[in-house]
Amino acid sequence: MQVNTLTVNSGRLPLALHDYGGDGPTVLFLHGFLDGGKSFEDVALPAREFCRPLCLDWRGHGDSARVVDGSYHQFDHFKDLLAVMDEISPDCMVAHSLGGTVALMLAAAAPELFKKWLLIDALGGYAADAETQMEQFVSVVEHQRQPQKGFRDFESRAAAESRVKQNNPGLSNAGAERIVRHYLEQLENGMWRVKLDPRLRGPNPIRYTEEHWQAMARRVKCKTTVIAPEHGYMHRHPHGRERFECLADGKWVSVPGVGHHVHAEVPEVVVSELRELLE
């Protein structure tokens, strides 16, 4: 189907917002790191029956602009998200991985912007104590001094799907296809290139303490559904359930036999939970 791509955040850095149409509440979809908004396509298409899915590409990802003299840190995404939320005022949000981490930061700072949301294997990033944070700064220094490498090109879509599966053990063929479907562009020489800024690579310079993450979760006031796949981040995180218990109104949904990319592996689960959340 034809998807209408809008431009938002023009005052900061133009971002692509893929509008799948449909009637009902507006739902903003936020993807994870090195992914793209259209990886939600097999959720967005059936969800059009009961809502209007809008799938954002973060800066440097997909069809969104790339920075010239700036960065791709979580706080950059935080400010982008604030501008987008003010611009479109969504009724609900679906956020995966990085998207959920950035959304949690903003929900803690401006809880009035959030009415309902569904988090896919995300409730904040990995925590760090003071010593670990200093080592993170050291990693940033080392990264900045090294020649920056781009992402590899692929001879075919199948080769890209194979690479995605290598990077995500346990990911099904269908899941890999959904992730790769829209994040490649074909070059004049016939090769395929990922639609990602190479400068997205590198360590996250700031990692918060567990106390910080739980304080953020306690400030969230809206109705929240957390989808926790059996082989994903939330189940193996040492404080995942503790963060969840900090939420004012949370629902925990375990999904057996599935890894981190729930929306690509079992999109019907996300559709079902979103429908219930909106009802």
DSSP state at residue 196: B
pLDDT of amino acid 81: 98
pLDDT of amino acid 110: 97
User: What span, in angstroms and rounded, lies between the C-alpha atoms of 232 and 213?
Assistant: 18
pLDDT of amino acid 216: 97
- The pTM of the full predicted model, rounded to 2 decimals, is 0.96
What percent of the chain is modeled with pLDDT above 70? 100
pLDDT digits (tens, 9 = 90+) for 119-163: 999 999 989 999 999 999 999 999 989 888 889 999 999 999 999
CATH topology of domain 4-128+209-278: Rossmann fold (3.40.50)
pLDDT of 185 > 80? The answer is yes
pLDDT of amino acid 69: 81
At 117, is the secondary structure helix, strand, or coil? Answer: strand
pLDDT of 267 > 90? The answer is yes
pLDDT of amino acid 75: 93
At 167, is the secondary structure helix, strand, or coil? Answer: helix
pLDDT of amino acid 148: 81
User: What span, in angstroms and rounded, lies between the C-alpha atoms of 73 and 255?
Assistant: 30
pLDDT of 2 > 80? The answer is no
pLDDT of amino acid 20: 97
Q: Give Cα 56 distance to the centre of its chain.
A: 9
pLDDT of amino acid 150: 85
pLDDT of amino acid 233: 92
What percent of the chain is modeled with pLDDT above 90? 88
pLDDT digits (tens, 9 = 90+) for 19-40: 999 989 999 999 999 999 999 9
pLDDT digits (tens, 9 = 90+) for 201-210: 888 898 999 9
Q: What is the 3-state secondary structure (H, E, C) of 65-110?
A: CCCCCCCCCHHHHHHHHHHHHHHHCCCEEEEECHHHHHHHHHHHHC
All residues at 6 or more sequence positions from 70 whose CB lies less than 8 Å from its CB, including other chains: 13, 76
In the predicted model, what is the mean pLDDT of residues 228-244?
93
pLDDT of amino acid 262: 97
The span from the first CA to the last CA of the chain, in angstroms, equals 26
* 82 pLDDT tier (thresholds 50, 70, 90): very high
Q: CB-hemisphere CA count at 13 Å for 71?
A: 13
* 77 pLDDT tier (thresholds 50, 70, 90): very high
pLDDT of amino acid 149: 84
pLDDT of 89 > 80? The answer is yes
pLDDT of 1 > 80? The answer is no
Cβ–Cβ < 8 Å for 165, 171: yes
* 225 pLDDT tier (thresholds 50, 70, 90): very high
In the predicted model, what is the mean pLDDT of residues 80-85?
98
DSSP state at residue 39: G
pLDDT of amino acid 147: 87
* Dihedral-angle region of residue 76 (phi above 0 means left; psi in -120 to 50 means alpha; beta otherwise): alpha
